[in-house]
Amino acid sequence: MTGITRRRLLVGAALGGGAIVAWTLMPRSYPTPLEVGRNEYAFDAWIKIGSDGVITVAVPQLEMGQGVTTLLPQIVAMELGADWRQVAVEPAPPSGTYANIPLAAKWSAMWMPFWDGLADEPDDLVAERFARGSRFTGTADGTTLAAYEMPCREAAAAARAMLAMAAADRWGVSWEECQAISGFIFHGEKRLSFAELAEEASGFEPPDPPPLLPEPPAEKSLPGEVDAPTAYPRLDLPSKVDGTYQFAGDVRLPDMVYAGIRHGPIDKAVLTDFNPFNARGIRGIVGAVKGKRWLAVAARSWWAAERALETMQPRFTVESLVDSDDITERLDRGLREGEAYNIAMRGDGYSSGGKAGIARIYEIEAGVHAPLETASATARIIDGRLELWVASQAPELTRKAVAKAVGFDIRDVVLYPMSAGGSFDRRLEHDHAIEAALIAQDLDRPVQLIWSRWQELLMTRPRQPAHLLLTARLSQDGQGNIDAMKTRIATPPANVEFGHRLFDNTTTWAAIRDSENIPDPMSCEGAMPAYDIGHVQVDHVPVEIGLPCSRMRGNSHAYTAFAIESFIDEIAHKHAREPLSFRIGMLGADVRLAQCLQRAARLAEWGGGVDQSGQGIACHRIGDVATGGRIACIASARAGEGGVRVTKLTAAVDIGRIVNLDLARQQIEGGLVFGLAMAMGASTRYRGGLPVAQQMSALNLPKIDDCPEIEVEFIDSSAEPFDPGELGAVVAAPAIANALFSSTGLRLRRLPLISNDGL
């Protein structure tokens, strides 16, 4: 195989229905994924340049507010030498060309459970074969840059070289002597625009390997208070401001009707009865569709459909009803008595030979996503083909599941990727897409299904609840130094369960059944502390709770960071140790995280968290020492007659090389507000198979006037870039809890911090 290189794409055959070639164990050909319009020229799977100068960049990731439709085009623009004002975006269709190989590797235990560890490295050929063969382009776990930065750079470098070749051919010079700047190819005083060169350039053969620029895309950090304009403002911002941006619920088709739906209690509900005659006086009703576990009504307006469903009073039977008191009892019993599986160990682990210095239990309720846009999908069957407009984080798996549900060959299902009005991983699930397709099939007309807020909350698969027991053996010097630490986590194997639903297309109850008593390392991520503790042990006790669970922003880091940082604070307080210096003293193996703590302390004017200062500190690392992202946060919070008030969150962040400072800041700030929501609410208990919280107002989400002052600074680093999306989301809650202890003297060991019982 001496002729095979590691280069992902060969270009030059993209026009006229050619093929994009991707190399794995052997060459594989894929149909050209981009459609070329009139006076448009494709340079590869990523870039089209028009005769009007517009450069269109394909984006295979779901835009759900995180800015991916700016980030990837920016990488292309910087490497290509394009004018940002001429860059446009096109959602990329599912294709093996755009496979997210790092995510496939990270999730290998989900799609290859019996060979766990065989394909868990990003450069593993088995993971690559799976991802390309299944057209897996999942948007999750902050893998966008890891998966797509280099393909985007290589594609742009190849296109830049082809444009230079076309210009050099006209001028009779060497193409290597030409430069690409702001949408033009220059050679001395001579210049030609990309628009003028696009047609000719598309016929040139690019060099292999492509001539990458010496430095990767990067922006320098700025102090938090500096408000400097960005060179790469969000491409989606103008249309989101003026309301023309298209989300999944904005699709309009000729003769389309609108559907509402009602589902039964959790889990395995069966529709038994409803009264259609009650809705006979409501105008605009087109028809009702009865599923085994749901009832839908389609009408000329969504409100008419909802009114009809209310009057029809659908009734369901359920084998067993999910109840939070029962869940709490199961988790508590599992924590104390359940069989534990060792997930991770450092040194000799935690030996019971010594006397435990301190042990604490932390309880985490189920966390709900509550995206602004509820589940929405539009389906149309025309000429034997099903068309589907939906926002999906796993579009090809959604397409596959829908095809099976309606009895179509997957080649006859077309998915048009739409943006999501928020997700937080909620759009990894695809029940609504299946339902929309079945309703459209039954009514034989285009249907747009929109779940009400109540149905969104009822059908959400929350982040799993968990009980954690943290135990530390302390040194004999009385200073609180930790010799050994053990974290025992009782929680459902939610990622194993989720994997069965996503990759095997199983029902929720079958996924729960097939996951029973299986250890889940992904449900324990973040439990191995960044601190330099010689002996550490992390154990998982799988607990079946009957509640379908899924992934959510922060995932297990949300509760492991809360428990560990609260625990460290408790040890520091018990031994009269200043919380900042106590942490820094244990971070000899992670100097970058120590720097984050020092920077956050300086910014927040940290006073030690004593004398009822109302300041609390927390830090966390996601990933390993070499490639992980770090954050340190200081919260200022108080409790009074009006409830808990968080007045300021100060964060110092190290995410390695920063590609887009503005987007990174937005992600950290948004994550901190998300973490504030998790600390104060964004959770529900269950009673009688129904969530107690049945509308947004019941989730105690922060309103605008609840949002604190936020100050964020980034630490410059030459390390590989790390996605900032989840760092703020996991560090805010422990910082707030520690701040409330500082101000009230009351230690809160439960998330959310504020429950029906109050403080």
Q: Would you say residue 119 has pLDDT above 70?
A: no
17: left (phi over 0), alpha (psi -120 to 50) or beta: left
Separation of alpha carbons 462 and 683, rounded Å: 8
Residue 387 β-bridge partners:
380, 414
Alpha-carbon distance of 185 to 202, in angstroms, equals: 15
Phi, psi angle pair for 633, to nearest 5°:
-135, 140
Q: Is the pLDDT of residue 68 over 50?
A: yes
Q: In what order do the strands lie in the sheet with 190-193?
A: 179-181, 184-187, 190-193
Residues contacting residue 3 through CB under 8 Å, at least 6 positions apart: none
- Report the pLDDT value the prediction gives residue 93, as an integer from 0 to 100: 87
Q: How high is the mean pLDDT of the chain? A: 92
Residue type at position 481: N
β-bridge mates for residue 58, sequence order: 90
Tell me what pLDDT residue 25 has. Answer: 37
pLDDT tens digits for range 348-402: 988 755 566 899 999 999 999 999 999 999 999 999 999 999 999 999 999 999 9
Q: Cβ distance 494 to 523 under 8 Å?
A: yes
**What is the average pLDDT across 142-159?**
97
Structure tokens at 439: 């309703």
Q: Are 101 and 138 in contact (CB under 8 A)?
A: no
The answer, as to whether pTM is greater than 0.85, is yes
Classify each residue of 303-313 as buried b or exposed e, where b means 16 or more C-beta atoms within 10 Å of its C-beta.
ebbbbbbebbe
CA-based R_g, the chain, Å: 27
Secondary structure element (H or E) that encloses residue 500, with its range: helix 494-504
Which contiguous run of DSSP H or E holds residue 643?
A: strand 643-654
Q: Which amino acid is at 747?
A: R
Q: Which of 363, 360, 356, 358 is nearest to 332 (CA)?
A: 363
Q: What is the pLDDT of residue 353?
A: 54
DSSP label at residue 118:
S
Q: Which DSSP state fits 142?
A: T
CB contact set of 185 (below 8 Å; sequence gap of 6+): 163, 164, 166, 167, 178, 179, 191, 192, 193, 194, 197
Burial zone of 325 (CB within 10 Å; 0-12 exposed, 13-18 middle, 19+ buried) = exposed
CA distance 206 to 110: 38
Pick the CATH number of 338-367+462-751 from 3.30.365.10, 3.40.50.150, 3.40.50.300, 1.10.3720.10: 3.30.365.10
**Cβ-proximal residues to 8 (8 Å cutoff; 6+ apart), any chain:** 22, 23, 150, 151, 154
Least confident of 13-17, 117-121, 304-308, 679-683: 13-17
Query: Alpha-carbon distance 128 to 25, whole Å?
Result: 9
Strand pairing of 341-346 and 285-290? unpaired
Q: What is the DSSP letter of 419?
A: B
pLDDT in tens, 550-585: 999 999 999 999 999 999 999 999 999 999 999 999
697-735 pLDDT, tens per residue? Answer: 999 999 999 999 999 999 999 999 999 999 999 999 999
Q: pLDDT tens digits for 13-67? A: 233 333 333 333 334 556 668 888 899 999 989 999 999 999 999 999 999 999 9
Q: Quote the tokens at residue 706.
A: 């609840």
319 versus 464: the higher-pLDDT residue is 464
Q: What is the pLDDT of residues 442-483, one digit of tens each?
A: 999 999 999 999 999 999 999 999 999 999 999 988 899 999
Rounded CA gap, 400 and 38, in Å?
32
Q: Which option is the CATH number for 19-100+137-201: 1.10.3720.10, 3.40.50.700, 3.30.365.10, 3.40.50.300?
A: 3.30.365.10
Q: How do residues 478-523 score in pLDDT, each as one tens digit?
A: 899 999 999 999 999 999 999 999 999 999 999 999 999 999 999 9
Q: Is 40 left (phi over 0), alpha (psi -120 to 50) or beta?
A: beta
What length is written for the chain? Answer: 759
Measured between its terminal Cα atoms, the distance across the chain in Å is 66
Q: 392 with 401: CB under 8 angstroms? A: no
Whether the CB-CB separation of 560 and 468 falls below 8 Å is answered with: yes
Residue 325 and residue 322: Cα distance in Å, rounded? 9
Query: What count of other Cβ atoms lies within 10 Å of the Cβ of residue 687?
Result: 14
Domain boundaries, the chain: 19-100+137-201, 248-315+375-450, 338-367+462-751
pLDDT tens digits for 589-647? 899 999 999 999 999 999 998 878 899 999 999 999 999 999 999 999 998 777 889 99
How much is the pLDDT for 387?
98
Separation between Cα atoms, residue 532 and residue 331, nearest integer Å: 30
Where residue 4 falls among pLDDT bands split at 50, 70, 90? very low
Q: What angle do CA 366, 369, 372 make, to 5 degrees?
A: 150
Instruction: Tell me how far apart the alpha carbons of residues 25 and 10 are, in angstroms, rounded to a whole number.
Output: 16
**Percent of the chain residues topping a pLDDT of 70:** 93
Whether the CB-CB separation of 380 and 413 falls below 8 Å is answered with no
3-state class (DSSP) for residue 97: helix
Longest distance between any two alpha carbons in the chain, whole Å: 82
CB 631 within 8 A of CB 599: no
Cβ(683)–Cβ(752) under 8 Å? yes
Q: Say whether pLDDT at 280 is over 80.
A: yes
* pLDDT score of 610: 80
Domains 19-100+137-201 and 338-367+462-751 share a fold: yes
Distance in angstroms (rounded) separating the CA atoms of residues 735 and 564: 11
- Give the span between the Cα atoms of 511 and 524, in whole angstroms: 19
Architecture field, domain 248-315+375-450: 2-Layer Sandwich (3.30)
